[in-house]
């Protein structure tokens, strides 16, 4: 009986530990921290946009859902409500400029004044994909100022 | 997107309008809300492309599915990988028209009730929908808002039995777009 109770206790403890692990690290696992994540790909803004617009992503590479570090010369900075977007425009379409739109993390809004359209900058962010006109990078951080 | 642009051009009849009659945004907001019996879930997307032609009433929007942000990372993962399969169907689109254009004066600031009808495509499935909303006309922009319901099953989005009750069969979609004049 004593042995049975011991095994039961061990099983209960294991179940509790397992349940706690699943609760904190699976069900409630935190979102990936893009700001501290290492980039999956490093490339120039122009080549990044070209891959999408020409559907010419190198074999074995998939930028959707990946962390990208891009370098290039931004053409404008937009403010849309609480959003700050750094734009690398490469072409023009029916709906205006087309290129890469990088939405900054709120914590990086304070560094925005260091980005000047026409001067090189390096950003890192999560690629959400291509919507037919623009490639979207979100949760972007400024790597160099 | 190129097909959507072509459809927008057809809907807006290029010869009849000037550039000033087009309004657009690349950062509109869409929220979806699931009121399940066991859990309430909502997700937000701030990367909505939307365009409106005030002369013809043509209205289109396009949404990158991977841009929907959930509070729980696991739910976001399941949403993309299992429910909407965003790798296969990266965008949702709507192409339609304001059907009561005669009731809306885009030259006079004010709030106007609107009915929009068109085709909504999610998960590769296209359905005709009609939604009620409003256009709040300001001096320098038009705020378009609408709330409507969709059934997940209508778009071939199946919810596993293990999470039934956590996700509602009908989802509330809220569209909120600040459309600025295309210069």
Nearest to A126 by CA among A52, A38, A54, A56: A38
Mean pLDDT, chain A, integer: 91
A59 vs B75, residue with greater confidence:
B75
Chains A & B: contacts with CB separation below 8 Å: 79
Question: Which residue do the tokens 């909120």 mark?
Answer: B176
Question: Which residues from chain B sit within 8 angstroms of residue A29, using beta carbons?
Answer: 73-74
**Is the distance from CB of B70 to CB of B79 less than 8 angstroms?**
yes
> Is the predicted pLDDT of residue A69 greater than 70, yes or no?
yes
> Is the predicted pLDDT of residue B20 greater than 70, yes or no?
no
Question: Which residues from chain B sit within 8 angstroms of residue A80, using beta carbons?
Answer: 25, 27, 46, 178
Question: CA of A93: which chain B residue's CA is closest?
Answer: B5
Q: Could you report the per-residue pLDDT of B86-106, keeping only the tens digit for each? A: 999 999 999 999 999 999 999
**Cα–Cα distance between B49 and B22 in angstroms, integer?**
13
Q: Could you report the per-residue pLDDT of B148-172, keeping only the tens digit for each? A: 999 999 999 988 776 667 788 899 9
**Is the distance from CB of A31 to CB of B76 less than 8 angstroms?**
yes
- CB within 8 Å of B48: residues ≥ 6 apart: B25, B26, B27, B28, B29, B30, B61, B62, B63, B175, B177
* Chain-chain contact of B26 with A101 (C-beta, under 8 angstroms): yes
- CB within 8 Å of A118: residues ≥ 6 apart: A73, A74, A75
**Is the distance from CB of B9 to CB of A95 less than 8 angstroms?**
no
Q: Could you report the per-residue pLDDT of B40-78, keeping only the tens digit for each? A: 899 999 999 999 999 999 999 999 999 999 999 999 999
Predicted pLDDT at B3:
65
Q: Is A133 in CB contact (< 8 Å) with chain B?
A: yes
> Is the predicted pLDDT of residue B16 greater than 70, yes or no?
no
Question: Which residues from chain B sit within 8 angstroms of residue A134, using beta carbons?
Answer: 26, 49
Tokens of A113: 């004044």
Rg (CA), chain B: 17
Percent of chain A past pLDDT 70, that is, above it, reads 99
Q: Could you report the per-residue pLDDT of B115-147, keeping only the tens digit for each? A: 999 999 999 999 999 999 999 999 999 999 999
Question: Which residues from chain A sit within 8 angstroms of residue B8, using beta carbons?
Answer: 94
Q: Which of A32-41, A113-122, B8-17, B90-99 is the least confident region?
A: B8-17
Give residue B25's pLDDT band: very low, low, confident or very high (50, 70, 90). very high
> DSSP secondary structure string, B35-66?
E-SS-EEEEEEEEEEEEEETTT-EEEEEEEGG
Question: CA of A62: which chain B residue's CA is closest?
Answer: B87
Instruction: Report ipTM for this prediction.
Output: 0.84
Phi-psi region of B156 (alpha: psi -120 to 50; beta: other; left: phi over 0): left
Mean pLDDT of A61-85: 94
Of A29, A95, A132, nearest to B51 by CB-CB distance is: A95
Give residue B1's pLDDT band: very low, low, confident or very high (50, 70, 90). low
> Is the predicted pLDDT of residue B19 greater than 50, yes or no?
no
Tokens of A69: 């570090």
Mean pLDDT of A66-90: 95
**Is the distance from CB of A44 to CB of A70 less than 8 angstroms?**
yes
Question: CA of A26: which chain B residue's CA is closest?
Answer: B74
Percent of chain B past pLDDT 90, that is, above it, reads 75
> DSSP secondary structure string, B98-155?
ETTGGG--TTS-EEEEEEEEEEEEETTEEEEEEEEEEEEE-SSEEEEEEEEEEEGGGG
Predicted pLDDT at A30:
84
Mean pLDDT of A59-78: 92
Chain center to CA of B162? 29
Of A32, A132, A136, nearest to B67 by CB-CB distance is: A136
* Chain-chain contact of A29 with B74 (C-beta, under 8 angstroms): yes
Question: Which residues from chain B sit within 8 angstroms of residue A93, using beta carbons?
Answer: 5
Mean pLDDT of A70-89: 95
| Phi, psi dihedral angles at B14 (to 5 degrees) | -45, -35
Q: Is B26 in CB contact (< 8 Å) with chain A?
A: yes
User: In A, residues 3-22, which contact B (CB 8 Å cutoff)?
Assistant: none
Question: Which residue do the tokens 């378009």 mark?
Answer: B144
> Is the predicted pLDDT of residue B2 greater than 70, yes or no?
no
Element (H, E) at A122: strand A121-130
Q: Is A138 in CB contact (< 8 Å) with chain B?
A: yes
Neighbours of B96 (CB within 10 A): 21
């Amino acid at each position: 009986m004593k042995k049975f109770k011991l095994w039961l206790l061990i099983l209960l403890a294991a179940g509790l530990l397992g349940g706690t692990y699943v609760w904190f690290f699976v069900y409630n696992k935190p979102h990936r921290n893009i700001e501290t994540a290492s980039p999956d790909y490093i490339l120039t803004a122009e080549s990044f946009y070209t891959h999408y617009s020409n559907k010419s992503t190198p074999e074995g590479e998939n930028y959707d859902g990946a962390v990208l570090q891009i370098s290039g010369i931004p053409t404008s900075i937009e403010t849309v409500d609480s959003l700050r977007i750094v734009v690398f425009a490469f072409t023009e379409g029916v709906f205006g400029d087309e290129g890469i739109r990088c939405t900054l993390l709120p914590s990086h809004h304070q560094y925005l004044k260091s980005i000047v359209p026409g001067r090189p900058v390096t950003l890192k962010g999560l690629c959400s994909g291509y919507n037919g006109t623009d490639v979207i990078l979100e949760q972007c951080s400024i790597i160099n100022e | 997107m190129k097909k959507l642009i072509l459809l927008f051009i057809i809907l807006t009849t290029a010869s009849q309008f000037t550039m000033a009659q087009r309004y657009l945004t690349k950062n509109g907001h869409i929220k979806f809300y699931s009121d399940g019996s066991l859990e309430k879930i909502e997700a937000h997307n701030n990367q909505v492309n939307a365009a409106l032609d005030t002369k013809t009433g043509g209205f289109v929007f396009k949404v990158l599915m991977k841009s929907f942000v959930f509070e729980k990372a696991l739910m976001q993962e399941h949403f993309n990988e299992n429910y909407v399969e965003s790798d296969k169907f990266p965008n949702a689109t709507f192409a339609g028209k304001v059907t009561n254009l005669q009731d809306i004066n885009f030259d006079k600031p004010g709030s106007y009730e609107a009915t929009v009808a068109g085709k909504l495509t999610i998960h590769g499935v296209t359905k005709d929908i009609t939604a009620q909303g409003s256009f709040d006309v300001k001096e320098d922009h038009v705020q378009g808002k609408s709330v409507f319901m969709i059934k997940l099953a209508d778009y071939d989005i199946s919810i596993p039995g293990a999470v039934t009750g956590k996700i509602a069969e009908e989802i509330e979609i809220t569209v909120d777009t600040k459309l600025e004049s295309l210069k």
